[in-house]
């Protein structure tokens, strides 16, 4: 069966997360998009995503894939149809046909997120639900140095919900990139970008919350010592979801997906 890949952007607070849920009253990205694509292709479609974002989390480059009975002859027209029906809170930015063995989740080798923080005395209304407004004074140099120590493989048992620990075979994860960047236009806005081979539930939001608690002096231990405790109570706060963005997924064996990203953004094609 033909396999299609799409790259999505969506506004997190408008949805109850990505994955559809039987008990949820609010609509999810998956059920919204599945309904539209099924209507266009006149068959039941099931989407698979590179990651499962929680309610309120944004996506700039979420990868999804699905199988269909027939090939899509014109992807430009298909994307126009999808975006015309799905509404402005989610958009299919790019798409193409892929080999049948491609799977958005299981073929993915790394995922990348960013968390945006506005560190100022006053809020910026245009950043509402787009960045965390953090009023406390922080040591920016300390923040950067602590973040850099997270490169490599660590046990993140203390950086996820205790209630989900038993669902993981292992809580070791490898961080392949982490950096703190200031915004080029607004000096009080910065973002923490984290790329890794896998993430536990709430892991990024707890990592950034812990870094901020260290940088403002609320926590006196460094982040590596906190990691070694394997205890959630030693780490920092879980930040709200609206400052978090799923940036992109990487596919070592599928340069076609990386090419789609490069067509949308000024980004490297390398996995």
pLDDT in tens, 26-64: 799 999 999 999 999 999 999 999 998 999 999 999 999
How far apart, in Å, are the Cα atoms of 39 and each of 33, 44, 85, 133, 207? 10, 8, 10, 40, 41
> How far apart are alpha carbons 246 and 268 in whole angstroms?
17
The C-alpha angle 9, 14, 15, rounded to 5 degrees, equals: 85
| CATH class of the region 114-244 | alpha beta
**204 vs 269, higher pLDDT:** 204
In the predicted model, is pLDDT for residue 170 greater than 90? yes
**What pLDDT, on a 0 to 100 scale, did the predictor assign at position 24?**
60
- What pTM value is reported for the model? 0.94
> How large a percentage of the chain has pLDDT more than 70?
97
Mean pLDDT of the residues in the chain: 94
In the predicted model, is pLDDT for residue 134 greater than 90? yes
In the predicted model, is pLDDT for residue 162 greater than 90? no
pLDDT class of 116 with cuts at 50, 70, 90: very high
Average pLDDT on 170-178 reads: 97
Q: Which DSSP letter does residue 54 get?
A: P
Classify residue 142 as exposed, middle or buried by CB count within 10 Å of its CB (0-12, 13-18, 19+): middle
**What pLDDT, on a 0 to 100 scale, did the predictor assign at position 268?**
47
The reply to whether CATH 2.170.150.20 applies to domain 3-107+251-264 is no
**What pLDDT, on a 0 to 100 scale, did the predictor assign at position 182?**
93
Q: Which of 44, 63, 23 is nearest to 249 (CA)?
A: 63
Average pLDDT on 227-256 reads: 96
Let me know if the fold of 3-107+251-264 is the same as that of 114-244.
yes
**What pLDDT, on a 0 to 100 scale, did the predictor assign at position 149?**
97
Give the residue extent of every domain in the chain. Answer: 3-107+251-264, 114-244
> Where in the sequence numbering do the catalytic residues fall?
54
Average pLDDT on 160-168 reads: 89
**175 vs 270, higher pLDDT:** 175
> How far apart are alpha carbons 36 and 87 in whole angstroms?
10
């Amino acid at each position: 069966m033909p396999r299609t890949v799409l790259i999505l952007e969506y506004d997190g607070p408008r949805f109850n997360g990505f994955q559809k849920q039987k008990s949820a009253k609010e609509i999810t990205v998956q059920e919204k998009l599945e309904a539209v694509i099924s209507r266009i292709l006149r068959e039941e479609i099931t989407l698979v995503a590179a990651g499962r974002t929680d309610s309120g989390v944004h996506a700039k480059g979420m990868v999804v894939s699905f199988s269909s009975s027939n090939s899509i002859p014109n992807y430009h027209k298909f994307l126009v149809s999808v975006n015309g029906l799905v509404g402005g809170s989610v958009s299919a930015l790019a798409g193409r046909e892929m080999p049948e063995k491609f799977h958005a989740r299981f073929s993915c080798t790394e995922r990348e997120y960013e968390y945006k923080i506005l560190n100022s005395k006053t809020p910026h209304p245009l950043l509402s639900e787009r960045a965390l407004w953090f009023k406390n004074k922080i040591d920016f140099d300390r923040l950067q140095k602590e973040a850099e120590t997270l490169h490599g493989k660590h046990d993140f048992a203390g950086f996820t919900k205790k209630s989900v620990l038993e669902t993981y075979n292992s809580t070791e994860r490898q961080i392949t990139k982490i950096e703190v960047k200031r915004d080029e236009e607004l000096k009080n806005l910065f973002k923490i970008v984290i790329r890794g081979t896998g993430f536990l539930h709430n892991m990024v939001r707890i990592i950034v919350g812990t870094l901020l608690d260290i940088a403002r002096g609320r926590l006196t231990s460094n982040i590596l010592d906190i990691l070694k405790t394997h205890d959630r109570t030693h780490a920092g706060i879980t930040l709200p979801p609206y400052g978090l963005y799923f940036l992109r997924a990487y596919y070592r064996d599928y340069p076609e997906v990386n090419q789609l990203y490069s067509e949308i953004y000024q980004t490297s094609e390398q996995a």
